[in-house]
Structure 1
Amino acid sequence: MPAEILTTDDLREFKLELIEEFKRILSTIQNSNTNHTKKLLKSSEVQELLDLSPNSLRNLRVKRVLPYTKINGIIYYDRSDIDQMIVRFKKPARIK
């Protein structure tokens, strides 16, 4: 097998290719991390997220404004249901 001679230009090109590959991998990891936000939230997390008291959150639940799931006595809320509720109650801005 004949020996291959590497030049400094070959090494620079290889370095640039590696850097680009690392950037692509990091970008993929960062995008996947942002897409995997927590799907189910506990009551305390929803209260903090929406700045609600426990009674206000209970009222949303009782009035069936915000769907929930109860597992082993713990109430969970789906993040997409919370987002949909926010959109439903959004008031249009006044434009003068």
Structure 2
Amino acid sequence: MASFDFITKEDLEMLRVQLMNDFRKLIEPKKKILKEWIKGNEVRKILSISPGSLQNLRINGLLNPKKIGGTWYYRTEEIEALFEK
């Protein structure tokens, strides 16, 4: 004889709450940035992107960094603005 598992309204509500919490974690910034300018490797860690993706953000004008001695520095307020878009 086969056994059946029934899904209740409470099960669906628990799933909905869990999914909403997971979505909130995905769209929230990874961490609050305290410095005014940060290096490219820090930006990549915060945004979880590759060097090529960071370069695309520069090329497309979404970020306007300054290059000092071969190192790119990015304004933290521009990084945080990406999360709002």
TM, length-normalised to structure 2: 0.58
Q: Which has the higher contact order (CA 8 A, sep 6+)?
A: 2
Structure 2 regions of 5+ residues with no counterpart?
1-31
TM, length-normalised to structure 1: 0.51
Q: Tell me by how many angstroms 1:41 deviates.
A: 0.8
Measured on the aligned residues, the alpha-carbon RMSD in Å equals 1.9
Instruction: Write the distance in 1 (CA, Å) between the matches of 2:45 and 2:52.
Output: 13
Structure ranking higher in helix proportion? 1
Aligned length in residues: 54
The corresponding residue for 1:49 is 46
**Structure index of larger Rg:** 1
Please tell me whether residue 58 in structure 1 is matched to residue 44 in structure 2.
no
The corresponding residue for 1:37 is 34
Structure 1 regions of 5+ residues with no counterpart?
1-33, 89-96
